[in-house]
Amino acid sequence: MKILHIVGARPQFIKLAPLCCAIKDYSASTSAAQDPPIQSIIVHTGQHYDYLMSKVFFDDLQIPEPAYNLEVGSDRHGRQTGLMMDRIEEVLIKENPDMVIVYGDTNSTLAGALSATKLHLPIAHIEAGLRSYNRRMPEEINRVLTDHISSLLLCPTKTAVLNLQKEGFSTILKKGNLLDASEKIPLPHPSPSHDQRPIVANVGDIMYESVLFSLQNALKTSRILKSLNLQTNKNEFIPYILCTIHRQENTDDQQKLQSILEALNEIADQEQPVIFPAHPRIKKLLGALDNSSLNNIRIINPVPYYDMLLLQNQAKIILTDSGGVQKEAFFLKRPCITLRDETEWIETVTAGMNIVTGADKTKILKAYHTMLKDKPQAKKPDKSLGHPFGTADSSTLILKLILKK
Ligand code: UD1
Ligand code: UDP
C-alpha cells in the first residue's frame, strides 16, 4: 500500500513523527505473506522553511527525509495555496498513492486535500472535526473544507466527533468498533472521492502520544534551561512565564498585540521573566519595537521541540495563541491562558487548566491571578470517558484504519 503524507508547517512535522514510527515498526514486524507492505512518501510543501521551523524537527524526531520539497515558501493565502496545489497535483499524478494523509488545518492541509480529491484519491485527515466556529480564521476554513472532502476523518477528541455529527456525518467508529449511526442521523454524507461513505473515528490526539514519548528524551538531552539561565548550577529553577504568539488575528492587529505586550510587561519582572520563543511572523514585529516596551520579556528564536517541551514543563504558567501549545500545557499539567477569543480545545478549559481571554489586557491579568491563586490541577478524568485526548496510541489506531484492519 502506498501512502503519501502532505506536511508543510511546524506542528505538522510533530504530528507526522509518531505515524512514521508506527509505520517503521509495522514494516519491521510485518510478514510478507499476511500484511501488505507500506510504502510511505513524505511531501513537504515548503510552507515553513527556516531551519528552526522545519529541518530541526526532521532531525530531532528522526522523521525520514521528504521525498519531495515543493519549496512553495511564504505568500498571500490564495497564491500560496494555489502554488501548493499546482505542485502537489504533479506529485500525486506521478505517485498515484492509495491514500493521501493530511494533518491539521494549515494552507498545506487544504492544498493537499483539494489536489487529492480532484484526482479521486482518498484522503485521511488527522485532527479532523475541530471547530472554533469563527470563519474569519483561515484555519477554520481549511479544516471545514478538508473534513468535507475526506474519506477517513481521524478525530482527536469526542468533541470533534460530535462537531462532525452536527454537520451530517453519520458513520462513527470508536476505537475499532464500527458504530453505524445512519439510522439515528438521517443525513447520509457521501464521500466525494469514494463510493463508500466517510468514516469518522475517535483515535485520540497524536500530539499526546508525541509528548509522552518525547518528554523523557527532552529531560535527558535538552540544555535550554541552563542556557537561558533558568536553572542554576545547583539545579535550582528560576521561575518564568512562557509565551508564544503567532496567530494572524494577534500579529496583524497592532492594538491587540500592544494589549498583550502590556499585560506581559505587568506580569514580568527581573525575578520572573517572560520567555518568548518567537515565530518568524512575530519576531519581525517585535524586533521593530524599542526595548522599553519589552522590559523583562526575553525574545528568543523559535526553539527545537525537545527544548520547547522542557520550557513548557518547567514554566509557572503559559500564555499562548497556539493550538498545540494549549494542549501540551494540559498534557504537562501547566496552567494556560489562551490569547484568542475561542478555543477548539475546550477539554482543557473544562478541566480548569486553561482560561480563554483573547487579547484583552484586563482579562489576561485577571486570568493570570486566578490561575496562580487557585493553583489548578487537571481535574481527575471521568473514568467513563477516559483521558479526553485518548490513550496515546493514536498512531497505531490510525495505521489500523488506513490498512482497514
Ligand atoms: C501557519 C498556519 C497556522 C499554524 C502555523 C504553525 C496557515 C494559514 N497558517 O501559520 O495555522 O498555526 O503555521 O506555526 O497555514 N515565515 C518565515 N519563515 C518560515 C515560515 C514563515 O520567516 O519558515 C514568516 C513569513 O514572513 C511568512 C509568515 O512567517 O509570511 C507566516 O507564515 P505562514 O506559513 O504563512 O503562516 P504561519 O503564521 O506560520
Ligand atoms: N513549538 C516548538 N518550538 C517553538 C514553538 C512551538 O517546538 O519555538 C512546538 C510546540 O511544542 C507544539 C507546536 O510547535 O508542538 C505548535 O506549533 P505552533 O504553535 O507553531 O502551531 P499551532 O499548534 O498553533 O498550529
The string of pLDDT tens digits covering residues 254-279 is 999 999 999 999 999 888 999 999 99
Among the atoms of ligand 2, which is closest to the Cα of residue 279? 8
The string of pLDDT tens digits covering residues 344-399 is 999 999 999 999 999 999 999 999 999 998 777 665 555 555 689 998 999 999 99
Average pLDDT of the segment spanning 7-34? 90
List the Cα angle 332/393/222 in 5-degree steps: 40
Q: What is the DSSP letter of 269?
A: B
CATH fold match for the domains 2-205+390-403 and 210-374 = yes
How many angstroms separate the alpha carbon of residue 155 from the centre of ligand 2?
Answer: 20
Among protein residues, the one with the nearest Cα to ligand 1's atom 35 is 74
1 HSE (CA, 13 A, CB side): 19
The answer to whether the CB of 246 is under 6 A from ligand 1 is yes
Whether 366 and 265 have beta carbons less than 8 Å apart is answered as no
Is the model's pLDDT at 89 over the cut of 90?
yes
**Residue 405: how many CB atoms within 10 A of its CB?**
9
Return mean pLDDT, the chain. 90
Average pLDDT of the segment spanning 112-116? 98
Architecture of the domain whose range is 210-374:
3-Layer(aba) Sandwich (3.40)
Among the atoms of ligand 2, which is closest to the Cα of residue 309? 11
The answer to whether the CB of 10 is under 6 A from ligand 2 is yes
Is the model's pLDDT at 173 over the cut of 90?
no
Among protein residues, the one with the nearest Cα to ligand 1's atom 15 is 106
How many angstroms separate the alpha carbon of residue 303 from the centre of ligand 2?
Answer: 9
The answer to whether the CB of 56 is under 6 A from ligand 2 is no
Distance of alpha carbon 240 from alpha carbon 69, whole angstroms: 38
Distance of alpha carbon 154 from alpha carbon 26, whole angstroms: 19
Q: What is the pLDDT of residue 185?
A: 35
5 HSE (CA, 13 A, CB side): 29
Is the model's pLDDT at 319 over the cut of 90?
yes
Q: What is the pLDDT of residue 284?
A: 86
How many angstroms separate the alpha carbon of residue 109 from the centre of ligand 1?
Answer: 13
Distance of CA 385 to the CA centre of its chain: 22
Q: What is the pLDDT of residue 294?
A: 84
Contacts of 21 (CB under 8 A, 6+ apart): 213, 395
Q: What is the pLDDT of residue 287?
A: 81
The string of pLDDT tens digits covering residues 130-143 is 999 999 999 999 99
Q: What are the extents of the domains in the chain? A: 2-205+390-403, 210-374
The answer to whether the CB of 18 is under 6 A from ligand 2 is no
Hey, what's the cell of 182? 445512519
Of the candidates 1, 6, 206, which has an alpha carbon nearest to the alpha carbon of residue 113?
6
Whether 318 and 296 have beta carbons less than 8 Å apart is answered as no
Contacts of 102 (CB under 8 A, 6+ apart): 5, 6, 108, 109, 112, 113, 116, 123, 124, 125, 126, 146, 150
| Secondary-structure class of domain 2-205+390-403 per CATH | alpha beta
Hey, what's the cell of 157? 477528541
Whole-number Cα distances in Å, 289 to 258, 285, 299, 333, 395: 10, 7, 12, 33, 43
Average pLDDT of the segment spanning 301-306? 98
Is the model's pLDDT at 176 over the cut of 50?
no
Long-range contacts of 347-354 (CB under 8 A, 24+ apart): 347/157, 347/159, 347/388, 347/389, 351/378, 351/379, 351/388, 352/376, 352/377, 352/378, 352/379, 353/329, 353/378, 354/326, 354/329, 354/330
The answer to whether the CB of 280 is under 6 A from ligand 1 is yes
Average pLDDT of the segment spanning 18-22? 97
Torsion angle (degrees, nearest 10) of CA 114, 145, 80, 6: -60
The answer to whether the CB of 172 is under 6 A from ligand 2 is no
The answer to whether the CB of 131 is under 6 A from ligand 1 is no
How many angstroms separate the alpha carbon of residue 47 from the centre of ligand 1?
Answer: 7
From the CA of 299, the nearest ligand is: 2
Of 12, 47, 130, which is best to mutate to test ligand 1, by the most ligand atoms within 8 angstroms of its C-beta?
A: 47
What residues are labeled active site? 246
The string of pLDDT tens digits covering residues 26-60 is 999 866 556 778 999 999 999 999 999 999 999 99
Rg of the chain taking only CA atoms, in angstroms: 21
Hey, what's the cell of 318? 503559559
How far is it between the farthest Cα atoms of the chain? 68
